[in-house]
Amino acid sequence: MPDSSFYVTTPIYYVNDKPHIGHAYTTILADVLVRYARLFGRQTYFLTGTDEHGQKVQRAAEARHTTPQAHADETVVRFQELWKTLEITNDDFIRTTDERHKVIVQEILQDLYDRGEIYRDEYDGWYCVTCERFYTEKDLVDGKCPEPGCGRAVERIAEANYFFRMSNYQQWLIDYIDQNPTFIQPDFRRNETLGFLRQELTDLCISRPKSRLSWGIELPFDADFVTYVWFDALVNYISAIGYRRDDEQFAALWPAAYHLIGKDILTTHTVYWPTMLKAMGLPLPRTVLAHGWWLSGDSRMSKTTGNVVDPMEYIDRHGVDAFRYFLIAEMVVGQEANFTPEAFARRYNADLANDLGNILSRVTTLIVKHCDGRIPEVSELTDDDRALQDLATATAGRVHEAVERVRLDAAVGAVADLIRETNRYLERRQPWNLARDGDKASLGTVLYHAADVLRIASGLLHPIMPDRMTACRSALGLTADEPDFENLGRWAVLPVGSRVEKGPALFPRIEAPKKKELKKKEDSPMTDDNLIDITEFQNLELKTAKIIGADRVEGADRLLKLQVEVAGEERQVVAGIAQHYTPEDLVGKTVVVVANLKPAKIRGEVSNGMLLAASDGDVLRLLTPDGDIPSGAEVR
């Protein structure tokens, strides 16, 4: 993160979508980073918004017999309201239909056109309506859209269009990325972009003829065309902060930008956007950080599978802060994470209900009962007290360092360590027994220590759980609106004598999702005819295999051909799993294969083995080992 100002952006979300966990996650991540930056004393600016032009909005509006603008006006509210509910502290919300945005897009286009950066040409290529992108013949995968997770049929389109000379900047961009290692984060995403740039970069088609799509920003130099939705959308990051309008604001925030995105929009942000900025003569944003996907039970969330997590469901049941905490604690930024009701209940009960909430409840109960409801004085210190103080005062530094590396999971972990240790401290010092024995001096010391830890922990977690941590702080008699970071690294800031209140439980325990009732084996006896001898099983050679390549099989909707490596040997296996996994989901996974199956030809493709998978109705899951193991390992 930059030292001085910190300008954070989220992607602007398609206004059509119902807000889901993907949108909520990026926005919460941005909010938490901004709140930490503020806590550390930085100047911040936080922008989010909606992407409102393009085919999808036009079609949705047509289906509802309304205008695209009216449709967008109605649906944008869903995002704006969710951000309010989620305690998002954005400074601005930009809509690409805002006049302030449209005029800037047009000025940029005119300027680039006047300088020959944009030209007109005939175009003949393949177009995916869903992704709103053109592809060349060689881009297509099995004749279909190559976008990960799309794979839909494409249309052949021949028409005149306008192009941005993106190809001119290929070498410049490669050099820039090489020389600025923090521009694209994490590192493996930088390599992904560099890999993309090894192929020849073509010019970017930045227009759509109105005859096909009218819902967009009109090209200022040709009224028969509107602007390609990405060329319009990316500009939001500068139109919102006063580019060409408010030089002072713009200079204060650009290029201190930190773009948070999902991994699926890496190319647009690390190839299109930098080359557009270069052509405009602007410096590039400091960092583009791509996070991974939230999965649902290890598979991709999709509307068709119906496993998309609805944020409102969790917020209504367990509160906004618990939801924010789970998302931030559970995902290592950059990697994938899994959202399941079980994981949510586990994390919530362990960290929040049993640890943090429990300490606050114990401490406030004892202070109210035995210390007249006031923070008690400290008397003689033991080594145990000093060790707790040391850990507590070191925690702010650990959190700061983790946040700087955007390892919010580690920041949460540092506070969780402190809380766990405080629980152990209370178990060792047994304040309830000190109270019973009337040892007021030791009781005061122990309770003061636990309470001052809570002051520090609640301050450090405030950016993640602003509401619950404010409640925790006011239970301890701390009334200032926001914690002061300096004080979070100091011991004994909590004033002796301040009033403590025992409020309702901060995080009431939640029921873990119910397990299914299991039948005892004796209740469903097997007959001898369906039992096999162990030797029959031993005839099967089951081995682990690493998937190193995956592709669709032409003309077969259900089949994928996989290249797998089994103990240094490569073989092809054809599997009927295309409706459950995309090729991208599979590469890198270790699975289990029947290795001694006679080769067979399926739809003209040789299959050398069979994958093991579990299936239940429409659900199918590949069997994978529970941890790292080399390929070729025996499965028995």
Chain contacts with ligand MSP (rule: CB under 6 A) = 11-14, 17, 22-23, 25-26, 51, 233-234, 236, 261-262, 264-265, 293-294, 301
- The sheet carrying 222-227 orders its strands as 207-209, 222-227, 218-219
- Judged by CB, which is closer to ligand MSP: 75, or 236? 236
Pick between residue 59 and residue 502 the one whose CB is nearest to ligand MSP. Answer: 59
d(CA 554, CA 141): 10
560: which strand partners?
A: 552, 575
> Cβ 302 to ligand MSP, closest distance in Å?
9
Nearer to ligand MSP, 258 or 294 (CB): 294
In the complex, minimum distance from the CB of residue 336 to ligand MSP, in angstroms, rounded to a whole number: 8
Identify whether the C-beta of residue 572 lies closer than 8 Å to the C-beta of residue 602. Answer: no
Least CB distance to ligand MSP at residue 571 (A): 33
Q: Give min distance, CB of 19 to ligand MSP, in A.
A: 9
Between 231 and 348, CB nearer to ligand MSP? 231
Nearer to ligand MSP, 266 or 464 (CB): 266
Residue 161: which residues within 8 A CB-CB, separation 6 or more?
120, 121, 122, 123, 205, 206, 207, 208, 209, 225
- Yes or no: say if 292 and 331 are a contact pair by the CB < 8 Å rule: yes
Q: Cβ contacts of residue 282 below 8 Å, gap of 6+?
A: 238, 243, 254, 255
Is there a contact between 44 and 252 (Cβ–Cβ < 8 Å)? no
Q: Count CA within 13 A, CB hemisphere, residue 73.
A: 6
Smaller CB distance to ligand MSP: residue 36 or 293?
293
CB 8 within 8 A of CB 287: no
User: Nearest approach, Cβ of 104 to ligand MSP (angstroms)?
Assistant: 14
Q: Name the E strands within 145-286.
A: 155-164, 184-185, 204-205, 207-209, 218-219, 222-227, 257-262
Q: Are 495 and 455 contacting, i.e. CB atoms less than 8 angstroms apart? A: no
CB of 130 to ligand MSP, least distance (A): 11
Q: Are strands 5-9 and 287-291 parallel, antiparallel or unpaired?
A: unpaired
Residue 631 main-chain phi, psi, to 5 deg:
-75, 155
CB nearer to ligand MSP: give 240 or 545: 240
Query: In whole angstroms, how close is the CB of 275 to ligand MSP at the nearest point?
Result: 15
Long-range contacts of the stretch 152-158 (C-beta < 8 A, 24+): 152/128, 154/126, 154/127, 154/128, 155/126, 155/127, 155/128, 155/129, 156/124, 156/125, 156/126, 156/127, 157/123, 157/124, 157/125, 157/126, 157/127, 158/122, 158/123, 158/124
Rounded (5°) CA angle 4-23-317: 110
8 A C-beta contact, residue 123 and residue 78: no
Residue 264 CB, nearest distance to ligand MSP (Å)? 5
Choose between 236 and 358: whose C-beta lies nearer to ligand MSP. Answer: 236
- The packing angle between helices 383-404 and 440-461, to 10°, is 0
Of 150 and 635, which has the nearer Cβ to ligand MSP? 150
Find the shortest distance in angstroms from Cβ 273 to ligand MSP: 8
E strand or H helix at 565: strand 556-566
Structure tokens at 515: 């397990």
Where are any strands of DSSP class E within 279-434? 287-291, 294-296, 299-300, 337-338
Indicate the residue whose CB is closest to ligand MSP. Answer: 262
Cβ 18 to ligand MSP shortest distance, Å: 10
Nearer to ligand MSP, 208 or 370 (CB): 208
Minimum gap (Å) between residue 260 Cβ and ligand MSP: 8
Tell the smallest beta-carbon distance from residue 532 to ligand MSP (Å). 42
Instruction: Please enumerate in sequence order all residues whose Cβ is within 8 A of that of 636, keeping only pairs 6 or more positions apart, or say none.
Output: 542
Least distance (Å) from ligand MSP to the CB of residue 236? 6
* Residue carrying structure tokens 């939705």: 229
- Nearer to ligand MSP by Cβ, of 47 and 322: the residue is 47
Q: What are phi and psi of 304, to 5 degrees?
A: -70, -40
Nearer to ligand MSP, 262 or 583 (CB): 262
**What 8-state DSSP symbol labels residue 589?**
-
Rounded Cα–Cα distance for residues 150 and 588 (Å): 20
Q: Supply 191's token pair.
A: 């390599």
Residue closer to ligand MSP (CB basis): 260 or 322:
260
